[in-house]
Structure 1
Amino acid sequence: MYAPHVRRHALALLDSGISQTDVSRQTGINRTTLREWSQDRSLADKYLGTDLCPRCEPVPRPPTPAHAYSYLLGLYLGDGCLSPAGDPRKKIWRLRIACDDKWPGLQRECADAIAAVRPDHKVGRVQAVGCTMICGQWKHWPCVFPQHGPGKKHERLIALEPWQQVIVEEHSERFVRGLMHSDGSRVLNRIPKKDGRGFHAYPRYLFANTSRDIVGLFTDALDRLGIPWKAHVKRQPSVLSQRAISISRKDAVARMDTFVGPKY
């Protein structure tokens, strides 16, 4: 039986138009097998499996689909964590994303993203106080989320790997959406009028996180998208100071509305 990465490479070569003879020479797969795969693709696909880690293959590749991973990465950096699951000898990890119970649509979107990145496996839900943990188990979550480590995120370096940076740059809107769904909000800002009669009201987006690195990833994505922002420190009693990012210009809010919008 040929290894999944060998099968995937052979199929890519066949799809590119290379002859079965040349593909056989490059991969070591006999021409009869290649001919059978060309005639019935399912014969090759059925052994590829879904439990394989794209980062652990001889030639590592990024998780797919990229747009779902970019969104899930934003959720993970904001409200996600990895922890050992079950028998430690099996080395299985549990991904947990905390989703507020006020936003059932966000919970569904989070579950869909986990299912897309980790197909054909169940996505679990665990009720907690005021929120639901959307969960998925896999041996290789630390491979696709290398930001995992001991301690709290704001107490250690959070930086993207080069392959993650490529995905985030290509799918910046999905990355921003994930971060906003975890640690952001769309609010109506009210400013008293100078004459004291009523208020000026306008919508704005706010994002706040105690990790300077995560805030930096957020603002870098906004810069790539050409969305202006302002920073200030959000201080709360008995809570660590948070760096807050405000997006309040009318055109910037309108741009954010096209791919983020209010939580639902």
Structure 2
Amino acid sequence: MHDASTRHLALALLEQGLTLSQASRETGVSRSTLRAWRSDPRATERGTGCHLCASVPLDAPAYAALLGYYLGDGCLSRAQRYWALRVSCDAKLPGIIDDVARLITAVRPTGRVFRIRAPGVVVVQSHWQHWTCLFPQHGPGRKHQRPIVLEDWQRAIVEEQPGPFLRGLFHSDGCRARNWARRTVAGVPKRYDYPRWQFTNVSTDIRELCCWALDMAEVPWRQSNATTISVSRREAVARLDELIGPKR
């Protein structure tokens, strides 16, 4: 299987007048494959299942959530013939593991999903040549060491589906905790307990995307420290609970 860039290069060389043998030497693609591409340039693209390369419909809510998981605890790794999408999940949260697996299947129905166990972690993994098409934020180094900017088509999806996007972010790099405070009322000290959602990420760009989605979902937030976004007001926590569900 060859990626879209190789296919497009080969077709361009053939259009420039190179023979099948010459194009094969330039690209490493067999003459029979080049002949098939030349006969029907869109034939191989239709078989990729890729939203961008073949205009295949994309499950927008599932993709928005998977994008959130990818930005939180996901990565892409290069193998010889494919890219591996990996999302690391806490082994004590089976609901999150199942959610990621379902999302990957919804985004790429014909692919296989693997669950790789390590101490304290389950890595949900899927292999495909086109994961970099769907997650163009991939690049060398850690996410906080490079710009993370959504493409226009990704922003359009998140604008339509901020709730699923927030679910992916908060269920990967977020937590729901109970905070408490002491106050004196009429001379009597009282303790107040209240829930709070927090999202922690070292990347400024990813935190800003989280705040952008919270604004679209009309969930008030504040920045607690240099790396943490908090949702603390009672009505805001209830709204976020409704949007993303429990983390378990």
Interval containing the TM-score (normalised by the shorter chain): 0.7 to 0.9
Following superposition, the deviation at residue 197 of structure 1 comes to: 4.8
Q: Distance in 1 between matches of 2:91 and 2:180?
A: 26
Task: Check the 8 A contact 2:175/2:198 in 1, yes or no.
Answer: yes
Task: Check the 8 A contact 1:50/1:118 in 2, yes or no.
Answer: no
Q: Secondary structure at the match of 1:228?
A: coil
Q: Which aligned runs of 4 or more in structure 1 are off by greater than 4 angstroms?
A: 47-50, 195-198
Name the residue aligned to 1:119: 109
The 1:65/1:102 distance shift into structure 2, 3 A limit, reads same
* Structure 1 counterpart of 2:209, from 206, 217, 240: 217
Counterpart residue type for residue 202 of structure 1: Y
* Structure 2 counterpart of 1:259, from 218, 240, 243: 243
| Structure 1: segments with no counterpart, 5+ residues | 1-46, 234-241
Following superposition, the deviation at residue 225 of structure 1 comes to: 1.2
How many corresponding residue pairs?
A: 203
Counterpart residue type for residue 61 of structure 2: H
Name the residue aligned to 1:191: 181
Task: Check the 8 A contact 2:75/2:138 in 1, yes or no.
Answer: yes
Following superposition, the deviation at residue 226 of structure 1 comes to: 1.2
Name the residue aligned to 2:67: 73
- More deviation, 104-113/115-124: 115-124
Name the residue aligned to 2:94: 104
The 1:69/1:223 distance shift into structure 2, 3 A limit, reads same
Name the residue aligned to 2:167: 177
* Structure 2 counterpart of 1:54, from 51, 58, 70: 51
Following superposition, the deviation at residue 262 of structure 1 comes to: 2.5
Q: Distance in 1 between matches of 2:230 and 2:202?
A: 15
- More deviation, 212-221/112-121: 112-121
Q: Distance in 2 between matches of 1:62 and 1:190?
A: 49
Equivalent residue runs for 1:25-174 within 5 Å:
51-57=48-54, 61=55, 64-85=58-79, 88=80, 90=81, 92-174=82-164
Following superposition, the deviation at residue 114 of structure 1 comes to: 0.4
| Structure 2: segments with no counterpart, 5+ residues | 1-43
**After superposition, what is the alpha-carbon deviation per residue over 1:90-132, rounded to whole angstroms, capped at 9, x for unaligned?**
2x00000001011101100100000111112210011122110
Name the residue aligned to 1:207: 199
Counterpart residue type for residue 235 of structure 2: D
Counterpart residue type for residue 94 of structure 2: P
Q: Distance in 2 between matches of 1:151 and 1:135?
A: 20
Q: Distance in 1 between matches of 2:71 and 2:134?
A: 13
The 1:71/1:48 distance shift into structure 2, 3 A limit, reads same
Q: Secondary structure at the match of 2:77?
A: strand
Indicate the RMSD between aligned Cα atoms, in angstroms: 1.9
The 1:173/1:50 distance shift into structure 2, 3 A limit, reads farther
**After superposition, what is the alpha-carbon deviation per residue over 1:127-158, rounded to whole angstroms, capped at 9, x for unaligned?**
12211000000001001000000000001100
Task: Check the 8 A contact 2:50/2:56 in 1, yes or no.
Answer: no
Following superposition, the deviation at residue 199 of structure 1 comes to: 2.2
Task: Check the 8 A contact 1:80/1:96 in 2, yes or no.
Answer: yes
Task: Check the 8 A contact 1:176/1:221 in 2, yes or no.
Answer: yes
Counterpart residue type for residue 161 of structure 1: E
Following superposition, the deviation at residue 50 of structure 1 comes to: 6.0
Q: Distance in 1 between matches of 2:47 and 2:74?
A: 23
